[in-house]
Structure 1
Amino acid sequence: MLICLLLSASGAQAQAERFVGSYTGSAEVQSADGSLVPRDMSVTISETKEGFNISWTSITYRPDGRAKEKSYSISFVPTDREDVYAAAMRRNVFGHEVQLNPMEGEPYVWARIIGDTLSLYSLFVDPQGGYEIQQFDRTLADGGLQLEFQSVRNGKVHRRVSSFLKKQ
């Protein structure tokens, strides 16, 4: 069993190894009123002992000059499914990293690597039972990553962002 886990972890690292690095870019995001709002983005992908970590920051610039910064960092570990990785976002009472609970308003997060694309998915369930799913596709491209983001709320596209992130 331990050998299987070690092989699985090394396989995850081998897959993620191609994406390792720090990347930056910017985009104009359409807001609810139709105006375009500038946004700076950065992502760092690194190997961990058991898999890999994705850390990213988004800075949105408001028309009044204010800036809003959001940062996230999630580690991923291999699952029994090839190329599918579970988020290790919280430690349970036994010290093992486990998923959060979407029925308690926490996001359910996973990742997969298919070809040259590392995708991260986040599923949120709201108090009324509606949902939002966010998908971040980061595809290897010459000199960096092509980022495609989409947010879908209750079956309708809420937001899309596309940007090239240059490798630093």
Structure 2
Amino acid sequence: MPLHRLLLALVFSILPVLALAAEIDRFAGVYEGSSEFVQDGEAQRRDLSTTIKPSKTGFELSWTSVSYKSDGRIKQKVYTIEFVPSPRDGIYGSAMKTNVFGKPEPLDPLNGEPFVWTRISGDTFSTFSLFINEAGEYEMQEYHRTLADGGLDLVFRRVKQGAVEREIKAFLSKVK
């Protein structure tokens, strides 16, 4: 292969990686905050954190939710997911398992596993999780993280069969 074609191929293979890095770098960081809301007539508090960082093949998203129950119990959920570019601009697939060829791929919602993806649209970094239960009904969880002065505005929604069951809003300050 002539040198100029090799250089062109190299440039065109690097451009998507550089574009992804620039897109992710706008959101990269560690963010923390809390939210107070009413659920089932009871005041609730939740501490929230999010970490977004570039990885070799895409980016890693981690988030933690700590719920404080009225009876004194504390419930913590921690998630960490690797995402890789999809063939569509601004949409990233989860890489939660590896297929027989060593390629990362999402989980299978038809097997009771969540199907997770992320979309970046303007200043909003949205993560969606689809779960199909045994009866074939679905639940969606949506996390919309929008760039704001000093951090991220977070809107979380849980949607079952098309109806919003819960919505939590919080400001997450950038701490790193």
| DSSP-derived class of the 2:119 partner | strand
Give 1:15 deviation, angstroms. 0.6
- What pairs with 1:50-65 in structure 2 (closer than 5 Å)? 50-65=57-72
Aligned to 1:98: 105
* Structure 1 runs not aligned, ≥5 long: none
Following TM superposition, where does structure 1 have runs of at least 4 consecutive aligned residues deviating by more than 4 angstroms?
A: 1-6
* Structure 2 runs not aligned, ≥5 long: 1-8
For residues 100 and 62 of structure 1, do their structure 2 counterparts lie closer, same or farther at Cα, with a shift above 3 Å needed? same
CA contact (8 A) 1:12 1:77 kept: no
Give 1:60 deviation, angstroms. 0.2
- The structure having more radius of gyration, on CA atoms, is 2
Q: Could you tell me the TM-score, scaled by structure 2's length?
A: 0.90
Q: Identity over aligned residues, as a percent?
A: 48
The whole-number CA distance in structure 2 between the counterparts of 1:99 and 1:10 is 24
The whole-number CA distance in structure 1 between the counterparts of 2:10 and 2:73 is 51
Give 1:5 deviation, angstroms. 5.6
For residues 3 and 29 of structure 1, do their structure 2 counterparts lie closer, same or farther at Cα, with a shift above 3 Å needed? farther
Further displaced range: 158-167 or 93-102: 93-102
- What pairs with 1:122-161 in structure 2 (closer than 5 Å)? 122-161=129-168
Q: Could you tell me the TM-score, scaled by structure 1's length?
A: 0.94
Q: Amino acid of the residue matched to residue 19 of structure 1?
A: F
Give 1:24 deviation, angstroms. 0.3
- What pairs with 1:9-20 in structure 2 (closer than 5 Å)? 9-20=17-28
Give 1:10 deviation, angstroms. 2.8
| DSSP-derived class of the 1:8 partner | helix
For residues 3 and 104 of structure 1, do their structure 2 counterparts lie closer, same or farther at Cα, with a shift above 3 Å needed? farther
CA contact (8 A) 1:26 1:38 kept: yes
Q: Amino acid of the residue matched to residue 93 of structure 1?
A: V
Aligned to 1:120: 127
**What root-mean-square deviation, in Å, do the aligned CA atoms of Structure 1 and Structure 2 show?**
1.5
